[in-house]
Amino acid sequence: MSKMVSFSVDTKPPNQGAMKIHTKTKKREREPVPINTDDILAKDIQLIISQTNVSYEVAIKVYRECEDDLVNAIMFIMDNNM
């Protein structure tokens, strides 16, 4: 007995939800840059990390660049495939 399999292909342009394939390349080691985390809420950083799967340092940097806006930080990371 054979099963029928069906699938669909997303034909939208890449910036509108099409599947993307990522390859990882070896990055140069960088020295950590000290970041002031005194006024950052730990739960915000943990949420960014859990939703985007980035490192702690990247989460803090983007959070700061987005003027401590949690939603914009997550969207920025997702849009830029960090």
Asked if residue 18 is part of any domain, the answer here is no
Asked if residue 5 is part of any domain, the answer here is no
* pLDDT at residue 70 greater than cutoff 70: yes
**How far is the C-alpha of 11 from the C-alpha of 9, rounded, in Å?**
6
For 1-28, what is each residue's pLDDT tens digit?
A: 555 555 455 555 555 454 454 445 555 5
Asked if residue 73 is part of any domain, the answer here is yes
CB 37 within 8 A of CB 44: no
Asked if residue 56 is part of any domain, the answer here is yes
Q: How many domains does the chain have?
A: 1
* CA 55 to each of CA 29, 35, 82: distance values in angstroms, whole numbers, following the listed order: 14, 14, 10
Predicted local distance difference test score (pLDDT) of residue 29: 62
* Residue 56, domain extent: 35-82
* CA 25 to each of CA 22, 28, 32, 37, 56: distance values in angstroms, whole numbers, following the listed order: 10, 10, 20, 29, 20
With a CB cutoff of 8 Å and minimum separation 6, the contacts of 64 are 35, 40
